[in-house]
Amino acid sequence: MIDTQPFWNPLLETLDREKLQQLQLRKFQRIFKWAYDHSRFHRALYDRAGITPADIRSQDDIHRVPTVEKSMMRDIQRKDPFPYGDALCVPLEEVTEFRQTSGTTGQPVYQPDTWQDWEWWAECWAYILWAQGYRPRDRVFIPFGYNIFVAFWAGHYGAEKIGCEVVPGGVLDTASRILKIQELKATAMMATPTYVLGMADAARNQLGIDPAILSIDKITCAGECGASISSTKYRMESAWGAKVYDHAGATEIGAWSYECQAQSGGLHVNEGMFLVEIQDVDTGKIITEPGRRGKMIITAFDRIAQPCVRFDSKDVIEWADYDCPCGRTYRLIKGGVLGRSDDITKVKGVLLSPSAIEEVVRGVQGLGNEYEVVVEKQGDTDRITLKVEFVPEAETRRTDIERELVDQLRLKTNLRYDLQFFSLGALPRYEVKARRFKDMRAKS
Ligand SMILES: [Zn+2]
């Protein structure tokens, strides 16, 4: 592979739309038939809807295939073939990898993969990393507690696949990880936005090291929306003196999208490996035009052990109305994943997306990186409390900062908040996925 080649797969990533759609149709037909033939769960679902592989002749036919939700997977698992149940499409002995979802929205879902699937995961990540400038000369540090969650496991293998040297940061504590990055002159790393910011704080406060002088020049984020939220991205890039790139993926789906070096404000969908459809939440119709938000229905074309066919991801996305200057023809989703349809909630009758609050908090100079939002019922109305931290040198500008925060919140979210201010370090810190949005209304 030539180092200067901008695309991991020059043929697929620049394929014209018509050919790409023909390829997607053929690949959908193949995975649909695979699931229909090999999974009792999928066969029953499609039989109930009266749809067979022979019925899939066009893109429109795809939209008629029933979607699969996470709750349906929960119902069939923990049964034979144990623990995966009836969606397993291969003999149990062909399964080589076990992972599970984090269970933030209920009982975890188990995810089996074969060795072929695992190579497929690495291939998905090779697109991401190559598009973000990773090359064989890079030394990639992965500060991640390798465990039952897929997180950066596949990023690790993707980096190896393209020829990088990979340093597994495993069970080291944060300070030891930073010192190892310094010692080895690592050039790239992968982490959640929360941890990227947390590491920068630890470098400065525990070790007296300015992270910007370390040799990291690019960081790939996952797990949270932060790297597509401009104010959070800016905080990370200025702290580390590095480019920060977003990507989106999920245990049940795969790594399906990536930001490229052009940083044009969106993520490319890897359309050679996935079919992304955006569904209007109210009408159920498929949205093909830019600028309208809906929830993502996604198919992974080549994953075989437990197929992902029209999976209802609950991720809220919209198509971008511009092409990316990088030259890829893969469509962009604007602003990355905008939230989850079950996170975007009505407060005082107004639709509120937690990422909008993050954008405001991280955009106000003088506030720390952490914040917490609590929504409670008070009589007949909702009450939203926003907890933020002052950085020590900003205490004297408290009134100005408070005013800016109130104005920006009203502008960006159309809501009023009860604000609570804390000193830096008082709010909880998270190592992996943060839980900053707490909706207590159902519990009260
Ligand atoms: Zn691009």
C-alpha of residue 132 to centroid of ligand 1, in Å: 9
Q: What is the mean pLDDT of the chain?
A: 92
* pLDDT of the residue at 94: 98
Which pLDDT tens digit goes with each residue over 189-223?
999 999 999 999 999 999 999 999 999 999 999 88
Reported confidence tier of residue 73, pLDDT bands at 50, 70, 90: very high
On the question of pLDDT at 2 being above 80, the answer is: no
C-alpha of residue 330 to centroid of ligand 1, in Å: 8
C-alpha of residue 138 to centroid of ligand 1, in Å: 21
Identify whether the C-beta of residue 144 lies closer than 8 Å to the C-beta of residue 176: no
C-alpha of residue 311 to centroid of ligand 1, in Å: 25
Which pLDDT tens digit goes with each residue over 81-106?
999 999 999 999 999 999 999 876 67
C-alpha of residue 321 to centroid of ligand 1, in Å: 13
Which pLDDT tens digit goes with each residue over 122-136?
999 999 999 999 999
C-alpha of residue 31 to centroid of ligand 1, in Å: 27
* pLDDT of the residue at 444: 46
C-alpha of residue 371 to centroid of ligand 1, in Å: 32
Instruction: Tell me the residues surrounding ligand 1 (ion) with CB < 5 Å.
Output: 260, 262, 324, 326, 328
Q: At what angle do helices 354-363 and 398-413 cross, to 10 degrees?
A: 150
Q: Mention every residue, 6+ apart, whose C-beta is less than 8 A from residue 119.
A: none
The residue type found at 367 is: L
Q: Mention every residue, 6+ apart, whose C-beta is less than 8 A from residue 423.
A: 389, 390, 392
| Strands of 381-390's sheet in order across | 418-423, 381-390, 367-378, 437-439
C-alpha of residue 89 to centroid of ligand 1, in Å: 35
| pLDDT, average across residues 369-385 | 88
Which structure tokens are listed for 294?
């809906």
C-alpha of residue 263 to centroid of ligand 1, in Å: 7
* pLDDT of the residue at 3: 73
C-alpha of residue 264 to centroid of ligand 1, in Å: 7
On the question of pLDDT at 432 being above 70, the answer is: no
C-alpha of residue 266 to centroid of ligand 1, in Å: 8
Cα three-residue angle 186-187-188, rounded to 5 degrees: 100
Of 390, 389, 353, which Cα lies nearest the Cα of 371? 389
* pLDDT of the residue at 413: 85
C-alpha of residue 179 to centroid of ligand 1, in Å: 33
C-alpha of residue 259 to centroid of ligand 1, in Å: 7
C-alpha of residue 136 to centroid of ligand 1, in Å: 21
Q: How many CB atoms lie within 10 A of CB 298?
A: 25
CA distances from 125 to 176, 376, 411 (A): 26, 40, 37
CA 9, chain centre distance (Å): 22
C-alpha of residue 80 to centroid of ligand 1, in Å: 44
Reported confidence tier of residue 443, pLDDT bands at 50, 70, 90: low
| pLDDT, average across residues 71-81 | 92
C-alpha of residue 334 to centroid of ligand 1, in Å: 12
Which pLDDT tens digit goes with each residue over 320-334?
999 999 999 999 999
* pLDDT of the residue at 231: 92
Which pLDDT tens digit goes with each residue over 170-184?
999 999 999 999 999
Of 220, 217, 159, 162, which Cα lies nearest the Cα of 7? 162
On the question of pLDDT at 45 being above 80, the answer is: yes
| Strands of 188-191's sheet in order across | 165-168, 139-142, 188-191, 218-221, 243-245
Which pLDDT tens digit goes with each residue over 276-310?
999 998 889 999 999 899 999 999 999 999 999 99
Cα gap 214→189, rounded to integer Å: 12
C-alpha of residue 267 to centroid of ligand 1, in Å: 8
Reported confidence tier of residue 357, pLDDT bands at 50, 70, 90: confident
On the question of pLDDT at 53 being above 60, the answer is: yes
* pLDDT of the residue at 265: 95
Cα gap 154→440, rounded to integer Å: 35
The position carrying tokens 């504590």 is: 173
Q: How many CB atoms lie within 10 A of CB 262?
A: 15
C-alpha of residue 316 to centroid of ligand 1, in Å: 20
Which pLDDT tens digit goes with each residue over 388-422?
999 988 888 889 999 999 999 998 888 889 999 99
C-alpha of residue 377 to centroid of ligand 1, in Å: 44
C-alpha of residue 327 to centroid of ligand 1, in Å: 6
Rounded to two decimals, the pTM is 0.86
C-alpha of residue 258 to centroid of ligand 1, in Å: 9
Q: How many CB atoms lie within 10 A of CB 54?
A: 8
Which structure tokens are listed for 343?
């996170």
**DSSP H/E element including 130:** helix 115-131
Percent of the chain with pLDDT over 70: 97
